[in-house]
Chain A
Amino acid sequence: MTSVTQPAATPEVISATGGAAAPEVRSRRFLSRAPKEAEAQDRGIISSMDWRRPGVRAAMRPIHVILLIILIIVGIGPLLWLAKSAITPTQDTLREPMALFPNGVDWTALSRAWSDPQVGIGTQFLNTLWVAVGSWGVQLLVATTGGYALAVLRPKYAKIVNGLVLGTLFVPAVVLLVPLYLIVLHPPVIGAPIINTFWAVWLPAGANAFNILLMTRFFNNLPREVFEAAKTDGAGPFRLFWSIVLPMSRPILGVVSVFAIINAWKDYLWPSLVLANPAVQPLSVRLPLIQPQIELDVFLAALAISTLIPIVLFLIFQGAFLRSAGLGGAVKG
């Protein structure tokens, strides 16, 4: 469980959007088709004939300009305001929030927000990275090995296990909130409490049935002849996994990775319960805690810093984000 607000996605939901129904066809299309190509190939509602009509053109041009302006205000506006306020003295932001530097710029808030020993969020910034990397690692490990065992090795009990895994898709995460908290306090098998360690976020993140579903569907659609041929060549299950199956699964590994990292970066409720110690708190947990204690300019600077990495990642990997949103949004709601 990574997010309590994550709806219980169900297999039918996914096949209804065609998202993962046929990975070979579907995911390749999702993952390789850049928006630009799509634009060139596809036509929209308005035909080229329509475009030639002056009325259509006269209406659509301004509509698109207005749309662009709205999108700029809504999409970048708040971020620009945040960037401005991060370097504006508190009293200016309180009195004239929409004025541009009425009394000059104050850069110290940024450095205080990052490295002040008490309010600084440098540690929590790194913690956020750790939370994301670890959740990603656990999810990938469980999903690949589990998917491989269920879809390729297929021992007799695979059907039962698969049923039990998919069954959890129907249980909303909120049901697990309290009992999972208990488990983190007194984990069976592991023994020592894992509360206030990153494990308390990483391990539950691995129990993501949607990942297993994506993986098994993908593996099921890989050509079995390849596996048989590899077996004839004397490849054992480990070599088959490592040298054949994993290299063939890059597209789906990418999808699972994007989901895992985004979810880990966004999650709040669960980490706020199990990562109470400031030494392990991620940003999402830290920021609301310090909000009432620190000056507004430093706090807004901290918010600005927290936004930086996701924004930069988004600008670099825009295509991957948008493509997984097309697929993932359908699942995550």
Chain B
Amino acid sequence: MATSTAPPTVRLRPRRTPGTWFRGGGLSNLLFMLPLLFIFGIFSWTPIVQAIVMSVQHTNFLAPPSFVGWANFNQVFHDPEFFVAVKNTGYFAVLALVFGYPIPLVAAVLMSEVKRAKGLYSALAYLPVVIPPVVAVLLWLTFYDASPHGAFNTVLSWVGIPPQPWIQSAATAMPSLVLEATWAAAGGTIIIYLAALTSVAPELYDAAEVDGAGIWKKIWHVTLPQLRGVLLVTLILQIIGTSQVFLEPYLFTKGGPADATITVLLLIYRYAFGSPTGGNYGTATALSILLALFLAVLSFVYFRITKAWSDS
């Protein structure tokens, strides 16, 4: 774990008494530290510890909590929906990579070559990101009307494509969710790539040209290698983000049709808040800890890779 890079301070401290503590600024130090300690103490450290405790307890707020050992984890692994949720989440992540990874890169590379009104291009690309995600999903919910009069189906009819079921069929629901998610997020990724592209040293292109490289060679041998770092970062962050997808399946389909879009986070939500006669908070926490462990492994692998790359 990285800590702050502050240089070590050398201070001569006399014997500590309450008096010296006070004169040494102990009180004001503590005062400045207080908001952080208060907020993190209550809203971060306590719930983290509590999560671990709750995962081995049966808690529904209705009866006092009881220790149940691994039962919550067992319950997760015996729930057929758990495997469906894991499969769906993986599917979402893969689709999001297929749609959402190359498109912004291509767009950014093309946009970086625009000479006039570059700002207009970036602003247009970024506009969907500005729309509040809930509004975006609810708007697309209207677009996804599966009747022949739906907005998207009307557009498809102009080019002779028959109406699509969009989120109303198990087969097309997930791709539809990913399509909206990509639309909503691609602008942000484009801007990151654009920023990275402008930081590629022009001398490298000059040097490549001296060696007789054409446009494609420059992209392949200069641009992409230079973007390697940022590409890896967006890759891993996208996977971490998509593993926790909630908003789209929750608002579009509530996990349907027939559990085709139930995701891990949606399942956690259902365990905790989905039953009208009392939530199963222990199981929900157990599943969230499993997800956290998975993400930790992912981050670890990623750090090893980036480290290996930056060392080489």
Contact = CB atoms under 8 A, between A and B. Distances in A.
Direct touch of chains A and B (CB < 8 A)? yes
Interface of A: 1, 4-5, 7-13, 15-17, 30, 35-36, 38-39, 42-47, 49-50, 56, 60, 63-64, 67-68, 71-72, 74-76, 78-79, 81-82, 85, 93-98, 138, 141-142, 145-146, 148-151, 153-155, 158-159, 161-168, 170-183, 187-190, 203-204, 206-207, 209, 212, 216-217, 220, 236-238, 241, 265-266, 268-269, 273, 283-284, 287-288, 291, 296, 299-300, 303, 306-307, 310-311, 313-315, 318, 321-322, 325-327, 329-333
A46 to B, nearest CB: 5
18 contacts: A4-B244, A5-B245, A10-B299, A11-B2, A16-B306, A16-B310, A38-B198, A45-B218, A68-B120, A75-B127, A145-B35, A155-B29, A168-B48, A179-B47, A190-B42, A220-B5, A306-B135, A307-B131
Interface string B22-66: 000110111011111111101111111011001000000000000
A97 B272 contact: no
Contact of A188 (B34, B46, B128, B198): B46
Interface string B214-255: 010011001100000110111011101100111100110000
B194 interface: yes
Interface string B93-133: 00000000000000101111111001111111111111111
Contacts of A313: 130
A141 B40 CA distance: 13
B6 A154 contact: yes
Contacts of B245: 5
B155 to A, nearest CB: 6
A81 B151 contact: yes
B131 A311 contact: yes
B122 A322 contact: yes
Interface in B189-214: 189, 191-192, 194-195, 197-198, 202, 205-206, 209
Q: Place the interface of chain B in its size category.
A: 35 or more
Nearest to B273: A273
B265 interface: yes
Nearest to B192: A329
Contact of B138 (A1, A7, A288): A288
Give the 7 A-B CB pairs with smallest separation, nearest first: A333-B237, A146-B36, A326-B195, A179-B47, A179-B50, A75-B124, A149-B32
Nearest to B245: A5
Interface stretch (B75-83, B161-169, B282-290): B282-290
A150 to B, nearest CB: 7
A38 B195 CA distance: 10
B56 to A, nearest CB: 13
Contacts of B70: none
Interface in B280-309: 281, 284-285, 288-289, 291-292, 295-296, 299, 303, 306
Nearest to B157: A98
B91 interface: no
A228 B133 CA distance: 47
A333 B42 contact: no
Interface of B: 1-6, 9, 25-26, 28-30, 32-40, 42-48, 50-51, 54, 107, 109-115, 118-135, 138-143, 145, 149-151, 154-155, 183, 187-189, 191-192, 194-195, 197-198, 202, 205-206, 209, 215, 218-219, 222-223, 229-230, 232-234, 236-238, 240-241, 244-247, 250-251, 265, 268-269, 272-273, 281, 284-285, 288-289, 291-292, 295-296, 299, 303, 306, 310
B4 A17 contact: no
Contact of B130 (A95, A269, A283, A314): A314
Given A5-B246, A56-B215, A329-B191, A174 B29 contact: no
Nearest to B236: A13
Contacts of A64: 110, 113-114
A175 B230 contact: no
Nearest to B183: A74
Contacts of A9: 237
Contacts of B43: 1, 180, 183, 203-204, 206-207
A71 B125 CA distance: 6
B233 A330 contact: yes
A58 B28 CA distance: 67
A179 B288 CA distance: 11
A216 B209 CA distance: 43
Contact of B134 (A42, A287, A321, A330): A287
A150 B4 contact: yes
Given A45-B205, A179-B47, A206 B35 contact: yes
B134 A284 contact: yes
B244 A5 contact: yes
B233 to A, nearest CB: 5
A38 B44 CA distance: 40
Contacts of A179: 46-48, 50-51, 54, 285
A7 B30 contact: no
Nearest to A213: B4
Contacts of B134: 268, 283-284, 287-288
A39 B118 contact: yes
B131 A175 contact: no
A168 B45 contact: yes
A114 to B, nearest CB: 15
Contacts of A146: 32-33, 35-36
